[in-house]
Amino acid sequence: MRKRLIVAGAILVIALLFSAGCVGSTVTEEHAPPDAGEFRTVVDSRGVEVQVPTDIERIVTVSDGLIESVMTVLGEQEKIVGVGSSCIQRNFNYTFQTSGGETYEYKDGMNPVTYLNPRLMDLPLIGKSGAAINYETLAGLDPDVVILRAGSCTLRSMKDEGVQKTIRTIEDLGIPVVVLKAHPCYDEPDLSTVSDEIRIVGEVFGKEERAGKLADYLESQTRLVFERTKEIPDDEKPDVLVFGASPRSRKDGGAGNVKGTDTIESYFIEEIVHAKNAYREPGNSAIVSAEQLLALDPDVIVLGTSSGYHPPEELYSAPYYQNVAELSAVKNWRVSSFPWEPCNCAKRLEYPVDVMVIAKAAYPDRFADIDLGEWLLDFYKNVYGADDETARALRSAQWMDWCVETCPTCG
């Protein structure tokens, strides 16, 4: 391929760019125009037409799991030769102790795509949250295409000049760059953008039909919740709080942090589940005190990933939460947890799980026919084509076995 002719000089070019202080400069080497029969045109989330090879052999991804998950569903995961998120290369452990001295240990938590593709753990890492892309490593991988997701933890925002410079620099190396824009890149949360991303990845590999079916299935699961709850009167809607039981927040003097009205979690609560977000201010992770938490006194609390995983039992029995034991959600056993979501900057293929967790917690009677533990198994089977054993392993890897073992409102 034409790009392979220039890779040998790419590292030297990068070194010159950095030494000259012009990372965003354009490489002047000209490349022969591609043969139309060997390339297909993909319109990415920017509206930019990107020509990618019809026969892709090597791909570098920059996302926290969505791109890699879609590629797994499409059967293209073996073509990944480098990744841009450290969170898909780790196993995680979490431990807490109850006020009675009982220890709860959670081991080997991971992104579902990592469990399904252990080889991802050993691939070269070209970037991570808070760090610049390593262009030397990227060029050395000789990718046919780079697919990156703006809004992920590595590349937070399309409005960031650093992100724009990253895209330009990769393009300057002669590598086609397909840019996906995750929901944080838009002014209003809208899950249709996730479907758009899935379909774009499908176009990269010429597998539009399979990608479309995946997007349709995910939408069908949230539509089920929407249809069951759309007629609920306002005075019957419970107050739901997405609460991060973060040790960092406690260290800063708070009880934890909460998701405000401008977050995707609030969109799930109010626009899909048709409940009420108990916290009425904007903000992604606003720290609240125990007094503020008691004043909010939500009907339902859902614990999210926040400097670690947090199961319902933590809010019920950890010694540092005994001062909020009078919360209605605690007294009435209406605390649930989202799955373990490392690098939770943008939602991935598992977003319907979050929606169903909220729906089951908010309206246990309306969703009494759905056993959350079994629904999760069906979800993993439908999304990833997993067998029963693998589906159970995925449920465990996301630390959702609590809904089988100890959840009074999940059955």
Mapping DSSP onto H, E and C, the string for 218-249 reads HHHHHHHHHHHHCCCCHHHCCEEEEEECCHHH
Q: Which residues of the chain have pLDDT under 50?
A: 1-34
d(CA 296, CA 293): 5
Tally Cβ neighbours within 10 Å of residue 48: 13
Tally Cβ neighbours within 10 Å of residue 165: 14
d(CA 294, CA 342): 28
Residue 187: predicted pLDDT: 87
d(CA 255, CA 320): 8
**Which three-class secondary structure state does DSSP give residue 95?**
strand
Residue with tokens 């620099």: 169
Strand order in the sheet with 177-181: 80-83, 59-62, 145-150, 177-181
369, containing H or E segment: none
Q: Which of these, 378, 376, 366, lies nearest to 225 by C-alpha position?
A: 366
Residue 406: predicted pLDDT: 56
Residue 25: predicted pLDDT: 33
Token representation of residue 317: 């029995």
CA 42 to chain centre: 23
Strand 103-109 with 145-150, pairing: unpaired
Residue 20: predicted pLDDT: 35
CATH architecture of 229-405: 3-Layer(aba) Sandwich (3.40)
Strand 103-109 with 177-181, pairing: unpaired
Token representation of residue 260: 């405000």
Residue 405: predicted pLDDT: 66
| Residue 244: strand pairing partners | 257
First and final CA of the chain: distance in angstroms? 55
Token representation of residue 361: 């917690």
Residue 71: predicted pLDDT: 98
Residue 83: predicted pLDDT: 97
Q: How many CA atoms lie within 13 A of 378 on its CB side?
A: 11
Query: What are the CA-CA distances from residue 35 to residues 7, 39, 59, 65, 263 (Å)?
Result: 19, 7, 20, 32, 44
Residue 236: predicted pLDDT: 97
d(CA 220, CA 400): 22
Residue 403: predicted pLDDT: 85
